[in-house]
Structure 1
């Protein structure tokens, strides 16, 4: 019997608080804050959603404000723009792209073509100036635009495990998918549990990044520079990259954390309920939505 293929655990989403909470999370320079729904203030006439054709614009915004400090392989990028005072200011970015493996898409959406009919919601970040309820309006607009492009399914993940820097500063409080539940995504359980490696700044050092270094694939220079910046020695000519990587992770103080698996959400897109329900789900839709983040993990 063949062993089941394990999915790669994504860390692609915006931290937030439990579904029942009236608080909405916002970001500025990778630091989170909160807006309360009672504050209101959202006026759709003040905002617009447009495609971002210049990847550097979207990338710069995400790298500056999103807690992950990284940018995915993008298929579509959308911006939330504020038109107050006659100006057009970018105040939110949503990125839909290519996951680390096709199984991320084909497992929950087995009948859709990956990367054309199904995509992953990879980044979703709004500035702290955006009023409560901005995110559901922005996300709904993005999904409608994806549908117009022929996309019929979107998968996203919510990471419920809090993360701290090596000095103990909380950089990611964990989240359960509040915005996904609010926009009627279907909850499809957790991704595979596994051990993940945290860098001193609290970011995840992904398996795919490690593979680029070991195999010297495209992007390995950026991955190596990330570790060198944190205190690893420079990779010298003739040195085995796999050996260097092991030594570099020790040198920077990387930590192992056991992760129970991110929460998986799926949107089936269509103009009518009948069109949406015709899209086959490869995983059971579960209820209720998760409401609590995971306990802080033990590092080893």
Structure 2
């Protein structure tokens, strides 16, 4: 009698709790999206960021700004023609020297010719800071515009190298993200063969990713967390994979309990109680393993540790709170 009365009193609380959790996550998502979209603003663009910590080359890079011109990253624009540079090519290089002056951190010297007369070099000094990628891209695009036929124009030097690295990550970011979503969707469809059920883990993972990106941005902006180029690519795949894995564990347990308990609120409560321990243990193990990368020397590996752990914990929190509410609401 007392037990049944207890279940009846707990039922209304459970029915209200799922809506409260859903509204809370709607508010969190609304707040997280603007911060998540600002994540590229805290990506470290300096050339020294990827060097091994404590190495002599890193120490030199850190000391270089103390010297005149040490805070600059040269962008070397090369104009090449296999048959020899023409007067039109020289005029193009001289025009670029004047046009690129607003981008340069110091006056641009006249173009220098190679010994064999088949190339010209223009040295444009750019500031080695977080604007380096954008200014290097403008330098490359402006120098290539209006080139005479047959003239090959390339950007090299530290500024060109930094731009190439950024472009490489940018070119693979979207394809990897799309492939990740397609693979996760295929796994969910093959597992559940439901036109609706597969959407819930996808929505769950998308929200976890926004939360993770927002936390990384806030820590990078206000706590000095190092965010390397290309980190978002790995974070996307990691959060979607982790969130889907934990969601599958919870879903399997929930479906088992539904066979024993027709009340989905009670079934979810029991499923959470039994699934929480292995899911939390898995998240803790993966997070601690990623944090071991803090001992790494290379900048990218070092950054992957805390940022990966943030992604895992974001997936855990969303799976253990939002997903149960969505499953109970949609039955």
Q: How does the TM-score come out when normalised to structure 2?
A: 0.20
Larger radius of gyration: 2
Which structure has more helix as a fraction of its residues?
2
Which structure has more strand as a fraction of its residues?
1
